[in-house]
Amino acid sequence: GDSVTQMEGPVTLSEEAFLTINCTYTATGYPSLFWYVQYPGEGLQLLLKATKADDKGSNKGFEATYRKETTSFHLEKGSVQVSDSAVYFCALRYNNNDMRFGAGTRLTVKP
C-alpha cells in the first residue's frame, strides 16, 4: 500500500544551521505531497505542499521539491531558528482519499 518514510529523529541543530529532513514515498499513482508541522500540545499545521512532479512548495523559508524519479519530497531550510523546533510530518494524498503520514521527525534548534 501507499506509505511515507521519513528520516528518524530526533534532529538537533544549532541556530542558523542548514536543515534537511528526508522523506520518500511509495505510491501506485501520482499523489500530492505535503509537509506539516506540529508544535507541542497542538494539532498539525500545513507547512507546504506540491501536487505534481517537479513542483516546489515553499513557506516561511522552508522548501521541498516533488521528485518523481526518486519518489522523494525532502524538506530543507537554509537557516533554522529556535522557533522552528517542532515535529515535522511528511504526507501523501490522492484525490479525496485519506492522507498517509510518515512517523514524524522531531527537530530541536539550540541557540
Site residues (CB under 8 A) for other proteins?
A: 31-32, 34, 36, 41-46, 49, 51, 89, 93-96, 98-99, 101-104
Q: Closest approach of Cβ 98 to other proteins, in Å?
A: 5
Distance separating alpha carbons of residues 16 and 64, to the nearest angstrom: 18
Q: Closest approach of Cβ 16 to other proteins, in Å?
A: 28
Q: Name which of 28 and 96 has its Cβ closer to other proteins.
A: 96
Q: Name which of 43 and 111 has its Cβ closer to other proteins.
A: 43
Q: Closest approach of Cβ 71 to other proteins, in Å?
A: 16
Q: Name which of 46 and 53 has its Cβ closer to other proteins.
A: 46
Q: Is-contact 25 99, C-beta < 8 A? A: no
Q: Is-contact 60 46, C-beta < 8 A? A: no
Q: Which of 93, 86, 72, 85 is nearest to 6 (CA)?
A: 72
Q: Is 28 exposed, middle or buried (0-12, 13-18, 19+ CB in 10 A)?
A: exposed
Distance separating alpha carbons of residues 96 and 111, to the nearest angstrom: 41
Q: Name which of 17 and 101 has its Cβ closer to other proteins.
A: 101
Q: Closest approach of Cβ 21 to other proteins, in Å?
A: 14
